[in-house]
Homo-oligomer: A and B are copies of this chain.
Amino acid sequence: MEIHTFFIILLAILLSARILGELAARLGAPPVIGELAAGVLLGPSLLGWVEPAPVIRLLAEIGIILLLFEVGLETDLQRLAKTGFKPVMVAFAGVALPFAGGFGVAYSLFGLDLLVALFIGGTLTATSIGITVRVLTDLNRHRSHEAQVVLGAAVLDDVMGVILLALLYEFSKGGGISLTNTGKVVLFIALFMVLAPLAAKLIAEIINRFERRSQIPGLLPSTVVSLVLFFAWLSHAVGAPELIGGFAAGLALSRRFVMPMAIAIRTNEDFAHRVEEQMKPISHLFTPIFFVVVGLSLNFREIDWTSSFVWLFSTALFIVALLGKLAAGFVIKEPLFNRIAIGLAMTPRGEVGLIFAELGRSSGILSGEIYAALILVVALTTLLPPFALKYFYSRPSATTT
B-binding residues in A (CB < 8 A): 1, 3-4, 6-8, 10-11, 14-15, 17-18, 21-22, 25-26, 31, 54-55, 57-58, 61, 138, 210, 214-223, 225-226, 229-230, 232-233, 236-237, 242, 278-282, 284-285, 288
Contact = CB atoms under 8 A, between A and B. Distances in A.
A14 B226 contact: yes
Given A223-B18, A225-B285, A226-B11, A280 B3 contact: no
A281 B284 contact: no
Classify the interface of chain A: helix, strand, loop or mixed: helix
B281 A25 contact: no
Contact of A281 (B7, B11, B232, B278): B278
A61 B3 contact: yes
User: 7 tightest A-B contacts by CB?
Assistant: A218-B284, A278-B281, A221-B285, A221-B281, A4-B236, A11-B229, A25-B215
Given A14-B225, A22-B215, A284-B217, A242 B1 contact: no
Contacts of A226: 11, 14-15, 18
A207 to B, nearest CB: 10
A226 B222 CA distance: 21
Contacts of A225: 14, 285
Contact of A4 (B22, B221, B242): B242
A220 B1 contact: no
B282 A221 contact: yes
A346 to B, nearest CB: 24
A57 B55 CA distance: 11
A237 B284 contact: no
Nearest to A16: B226
Contacts of A25: 215-216
B22 A210 contact: yes
A1 B285 CA distance: 22
A214 B242 CA distance: 32
A224 B225 CA distance: 21
Given A11-B233, A14-B225, 7 more contacts: A14-B223, A25-B215, A31-B215, A31-B216, A217-B284, A218-B280, A218-B281
A15 B223 contact: yes
Contact of A10 (B14, B31, B229, B282): B229
A279 B221 CA distance: 11
Nearest to A213: B22
Nearest to A236: B4
Contact of A7 (B214, B229, B280, B288): B229
